[in-house]
Structure 1
């Protein structure tokens, strides 16, 4: 059961409210945040390292470094790392503001430790 962490590289204040950029590191055998959707914002995931899986709609995609996935607003999505090595994703959130929720997200993860990656992703 791996851990997950994020570092924000650019936020709404730095992009004029247009986007935010974050880097997500998922340790081996790490579940993600759980399937969710953002009603008004698009997301792009770009794989920097490892082989994470990304859910878009009802389909899991196993990705390699250099792969890119676009998630339109309103589409259910998730990400995880079912692999044996750490995975690193660059996330571009188009329509900034997600970062303001990070203290709440961090508190949620502290209270709800991430479990094993879902079998469907492997």
Structure 2
């Protein structure tokens, strides 16, 4: 039988163990819905990037990703360089597409995001350019 899963942002702990060496630079990340909590084959997340924080260039071999900028501004990392981004932007990165986000402002950036097709980091096929067979942009 299918069951609804419900949580609230205040009850979801920050993800622990995200390493700077893997591109997670001073980020506060929460997995609101994922395989572990809801048995889902996707992840819905919430991220706060303080000024100077970054989710450096990375990709997911096994899932697509989207994010929506709810607050703040910065730069989207693309395979061709940096592009300005601000509140209201909606970005879609299909599996295998290199991407990231830098908060280059003096205010927090808040993102809601999702991985379609993977319920965990391990399932997503997460990799950074230095740890990729193809090298990255």
Unaligned runs of 5+ residues in structure 2 are: 1-24, 124-137
Distance in 2, Cα, partners of 1:22 & 1:43? 11
Rg larger for: 2
User: If each structure's strand is expressed as a fraction of its own residues, which one has the higher value?
Assistant: 2
TM-score (norm 2): 0.63
Structure 1's consecutive aligned runs of 4 or more residues displaced over 3 angstroms after TM superposition are none
Select 2:47's aligned residue among 16, 21, 24: 24
Q: Give structure 1 stretches of 5+ with no counterpart.
A: 102-122
- Partners in 2 of 1:70 and 1:42 — Cα distance? 8
RMSD between aligned alpha carbons?
Answer: 2.0
**Secondary structure of residue in 1 paired with 2:110:** strand
**TM-score, length basis structure 1:** 0.70
1:97 pairs with one of 116, 119, 127: 119
Alignment deviations for residues 29-62 of structure 1 (CA, whole Å, 9 cap, x no partner)? 2232x21111121000100100032213223222
Higher RCO (CA-CA < 8 Å; seq separation 6+): 1
